[in-house]
Amino acid sequence: MMRGAGFPCGVTLALFLAASHLHAGSTVIAKKAALSTASPAATSVGLHVLRNGGNAMDAAVAVSFALAVVHPQAGNLGGGGFLVYYDAESKSVWTLDFRETAPRAATATMYVQPDGTPSTKSRTGARASGVPGTVRGLAAAHKRFGSRSWKELIAPAASIAREGFRVDDELQRELGEEKSERCIDQFPSTAAIFFPGGKPAAAGSTLVQKDLATTLERIAVLGPNDFYEGETAKRIVEGIHAAGGILAFRDLRDYQPVWRAPVKVLFRGYEIYTMAPPSAGGFIVGSVLNILSGFDLEAAGFQTATAIHLQAEASRRAYIDRNRYLGDPAMTRIPYRELLSSERAAQWRASIDPQRATPTVTLMQPAAAPPESSHTTHFSIADEAGNIASMTTTLNENFGSGFIVPGAGFFLNNEMDDFTTAPGKPNRYGMVQGSTNAIEPGKRMVSSMTPVIVMKDARPFLVLGSRGGPAIPTTVLQVILNVIVFGKSLPDAVAAPRFHHQGLPEEIFYEYERAPEPLLAAIRKLGHGVRAREPIGDVHALQFQNGTIVAVADPRRGGAAGGY
Ligand code: DON
């Protein structure tokens, strides 16, 4: 699977792959430690760390840096994310927010064109990037929970970048898509690495990333400050300025990740720990479960029109609240307690007709979910000592802004597009977002990323998360319901067809060729519009069961579970 991926110990990654229990898009049952990530090579790196006595945090750091090399669509140095971590020693759950922030020079109307519509600059090129949070995020998490040296954990990624890895079909295809849709090959720094001869790197070819290797080696030796105040910072700022962007040295220097109190949702005897704002994920999971707790889902049945209708109606209402109230908690007062109260859930529940869809426009002033699609990546890791890392990270769209920092070899995010880019105006999906998520200097844009750890009787039970933009919280939620309410095994819970409702558009999204036609007909009968979509999400999950760890990589994509 990999060619010439040298490791410090001199063992090739191909050997790791052969020796480990790695199965792309499948299930592994492990006795001691396990993980699931979006890339077989990254899973292999994480497994190596775990087998050699590293803990879940060490593996999370190594996997994150490896994903930045072998999964450049979403793995990153130039993006951000969220970590939910269970520390076995203190038996406590921690959450770290390393979401990007708007640069100081950003303004609420920076993407508004003279005719009032949003420009494409929030998506592509050097003006699309928020201040990256990943490197200081990983360093903060490593400092608190890591046991192996920072340098040793970055080494596998640096080595793969220097010696090259084999491009897979997915990477070639997605480079091609972003070339035709957003011309990301317009940036010479991007074209030089990912579009040899003007074409997307070909599946089967070996992709070497020398600049990225040097950047990783520098960060390994000098620590995270190289990225925020040193040579890498200089390259970021100079590269961005030369390409017309606004991110300044001071923005990088001042960036800080934030440890936050987790959102804790109680549901049927389980405790669900996940991210607080600026993620909307925890809020949506909590709000939907609160609303659903008043319905008899078991009686409705697994994958029935009634069950999907109730989930969709609960989601529709949660997304209305999301878009009206959520923003960066540092800048917006979010009535969180009220929104997640049983009174609020009861009010929303009373407005649900069990037999009929409620048009969103009758419940709200038009407002809707933000323009999120494409790519993000989640991984779940459990070590022998019982520590757990559940982490979701993203550049926003595939390859973020498409802009590679010249001479540093990594993509910058296009997370600015998660803000309300044109206040009061429909975005490119014809939707209008609220003012609580307007651009302000230093502000974090609302996210849908939802890394989760579910506890039962004070012990870890389930670990999961997904990619999928606004469908992340509903994806995570369906897997939780499939296990907890419908009694499905984890592989079946992950494989089951997914549905998604986000308020507007007035439709339930379903997975093309996965949802059975009779079920769709029954859903339509309840008054729902339905719309086909590509596979929804990419779940990487672990379940603790009878002394074993069941690790599942979503069969929809090319990730891999591993364990021993
Ligand atoms: O933070 C967010 O919610 C988005 N930037 C995530 C984008 C995403 O999940 C795309 N994935 N498939």
- Model pLDDT, residue 267: 96
Residue with tokens 């549901």: 267
CA of 284 to the centre of ligand 1 (A): 15
CB of residue 73 inside a 6 A radius of ligand 1: no
Closest-lying ligand 1 atom to the alpha carbon of residue 373: 10
Q: What is the mean pLDDT of residues 343-368?
A: 84
Give per-residue pLDDT as tens, 203-232: 999 999 999 999 999 999 999 999 999 999
Whether ligand 1 lies within 6 angstroms of the CB of 482 is answered as no
Q: Average pLDDT in the 333-350 region?
A: 93
Q: How confident is the model at residue 513 (pLDDT cuts 50, 70, 90)?
A: confident
Over residues 500-519, the mean pLDDT reads 92
Whole-structure pTM value: 0.92
The better pLDDT of the pair 227, 422 is held by 227
Q: Where are the beta strands (DSSP E) in 290-398?
A: 377-382, 388-394
Looking at ligand 1, which residue's alpha carbon is closest to its atom 11? 375
Query: What's the CA-to-centroid distance between 421 and ligand 1, angstroms?
Result: 16
The protein residue whose alpha carbon is closest to atom 10 in ligand 1 is 375
Helix axes 305-325, 342-350, angle to 10 degrees: 120
End-to-end CA distance of the chain: 20
Tell the residue nearest (CA) to atom 2 of ligand 1: 447
- Ligand 1 pocket mutation, candidates 419, 449, 502, 534, criterion most atoms within 8 A of CB: 449
C-alpha 330 – ligand 1 centre gap (Å)? 21
Instruction: Quickly list DSSP for 535-563.
Output: PP---EEEEEETTEEEEEE-TTSS-EEEE
Q: The tokens of 525 are what?
A: 């009968």
Q: Which atom of ligand 1 is nearest to the CA of 417?
A: 5
String of DSSP letters for 182-241: H-GGGSHHHHHHH-GGGSPPPTTSEE--HHHHHHHHHHHHH-THHHHHSHHHHHHHHHHH
Q: What is the pLDDT of residue 373?
A: 46
Q: How confident is the model at residue 425 (pLDDT cuts 50, 70, 90)?
A: low
Describe the chain by its helix, strand, coil percentages, rounded to 5: 40, 20, 40
In three-state secondary structure terms, 154 is helix
Q: What is the pLDDT of residues 154-177, one digit of tens each?
A: 999 999 999 999 999 999 999 999
8: pLDDT confidence band, cut at 50, 70 and 90? very low
pLDDT at residue 276 tops 70: yes
Residue 431 has pLDDT above 50, yes or no: no
Span 326-351, mean pLDDT? 93
Residue nearest to ligand 1 atom 8, measured at CA: 469
Provide the angle, in degrees to the nearest 10, between the axes of the packed helices 56-70 and 134-145.
160
Q: pLDDT confidence of 337, banded at 50, 70, 90? A: confident
What 8-state DSSP symbol labels residue 471?
G
- Test site for ligand 1: of 98, 377, 448, 511, most ligand atoms within 8 A of the Cβ: 448
φ, ψ for residue 131 (rounded to 5)?
A: -70, 120
Q: Output the CA 20–ligand 1 centroid distance in Å.
A: 30
Distance CA 137, CA 139 (A): 5
Asked whether residue 118 carries a pLDDT value surpassing 90, the answer given is no
Q: Residue 178 class from Cβ within 10 Å (0-12 exposed, 13-18 middle, 19+ buried)?
A: buried
Closest residue by Cα to residue 373 from 318, 414, 333, 315: 414
CA–centroid distance, residue 378 to ligand 1 (Å) = 11
Question: Which ranges constitute the DSSP H helices of 451-537?
Answer: 472-484, 490-495, 517-525
In this predicted structure, which of 4-13, 209-218, 487-496 has the lowest mean pLDDT? 4-13
Q: How far apart are CA 28 and CA 424, in angstroms?
A: 48
CA distances from 256 to 80, 222, 348, 480, 556 (A): 11, 18, 37, 32, 35
Q: What is the CA radius of gyration of the chain?
A: 22
Q: Which residues are catalytic?
A: 376
Predicted local confidence at residue 366, as pLDDT:
35
Residue 449 CB less than 6 A away from ligand 1: yes
With cut-offs at 50, 70 and 90, classify the pLDDT of residue 493. very high
Give 530's DSSP letter. E
Q: Is 418 in the pocket of ligand 1 (CB under 6 A)?
A: yes
Instruction: Sketch out the chain's domains with CATH numbers.
Output: 1-164+208-280+376-498+536-564 (3.60.20.40)
Q: What number is the average pLDDT over the span 351-360? A: 95
Task: Select from 100, 284, 372 the residue to mutate for testing ligand 1; criterion: most ligand atoms less than 8 Å from CB.
Answer: 372
Strands, sheet with 499-500, edge to edge from the N-terminal-most edge strand: 499-500, 507-511, 529-533
Q: Is 78 in the pocket of ligand 1 (CB under 6 A)?
A: no
The predicted structure's pLDDT at residue 433: 65
Q: How confident is the model at residue 434 (pLDDT cuts 50, 70, 90)?
A: confident
Tell me the mean pLDDT in the region 62-71: 98
> What are 232's two structure tokens?
């890498």
- Contact by Cβ (8 Å): 159, 7: yes
For the segment 364-396, what is each residue's pLDDT rounded down to a tens digit?
A: 643 333 333 457 999 999 999 999 999 999 999
| C-beta separation of 509 from 501 below 8 A | yes
- Ligand 1 center–CA 3 separation, angstroms: 31
pLDDT mean over 1-13: 32
Nearest residue (CA) to ligand 1, atom 6: 469
What CA–CA distance (Å, rounded) separates 425 from 116?
Answer: 7
Q: What is the pLDDT of residue 13?
A: 42
Beta strands in 356-458 (DSSP E): 377-382, 388-394, 452-456
Ligand 1 neighbour 470 (Cβ under 6 A):
no
CA of 98 to the centre of ligand 1 (A): 14
* 31 CA distance to ligand 1 middle (Å): 33
How many CB atoms within 10 Å of residue 159?
A: 21
Using CA positions, which residue lies closest to atom 9 of ligand 1? Answer: 469
Query: Which positions ≥6 away from 52 have C-beta within 8 Å?
Result: none
Would you say the CB of residue 538 lies under 6 angstroms from ligand 1?
no
With the most atoms of ligand 1 within 8 angstroms of its CB, the residue from 83, 326, 396 to mutate is 396
Q: Peptide bond preceding 278: is omega within 30 degrees of 0, i.e. cis?
A: yes
Tell me what pLDDT residue 15 has: 34
CA of 391 to the centre of ligand 1 (A): 13
Say yes or no to pLDDT of 478 above 80.
Answer: yes
Confidence band (pLDDT; 50, 70, 90) for 24? Answer: low
- Could you tell me which of 50, 19, 18 has the C-alpha nearest to residue 549? 50
**Spatial distance between the Cα atoms of 335 and 333, rounded to a whole number of angstroms:** 6
CB of 260 closer than 6 angstroms to any ligand 1 atom? no
**Which tokens in the block code for residue 171?**
């990477």
Is residue 275 predicted with pLDDT exceeding 60? yes
Mean pLDDT of the chain: 92
394 lines ligand 1 (CB under 6 A): yes
For 9, residues 6+ apart whose C-beta sits below 8 A from its C-beta are none
Question: Could you tell me the distance, in angstroms and rounded to a whole number, from the CA of residue 397 to the centre of ligand 1?
Answer: 7
Check pocket membership of 123 for ligand 1, CB cut-off 6 A: no
The candidate with the shortest Cα–Cα distance to 156, out of 257, 299, 15, 288, is 15
Predicted local confidence at residue 22, as pLDDT: 52
Using 50, 70 and 90 to split pLDDT, how confident is the model at 422? confident
Tell me the mean pLDDT in the region 10-35: 63
For the cut 60, the answer to whether the pLDDT of residue 2 exceeds it is no
**Residue 454: pLDDT over 90:** yes
Query: Is residue 448 in contact with ligand 1, taking CB distance under 6 Å?
Result: yes
Give the closest residue to 469 by CA, choosing from 434, 429, 436, 440. 429
Q: How far is CA 56 from CA 2, 99, 538, in A?
A: 24, 21, 21
Which ligand 1 atom is at minimum distance from the Cα of 396?
5
Q: Please report, as a single letter, which amino acid is at residue 464.
A: L
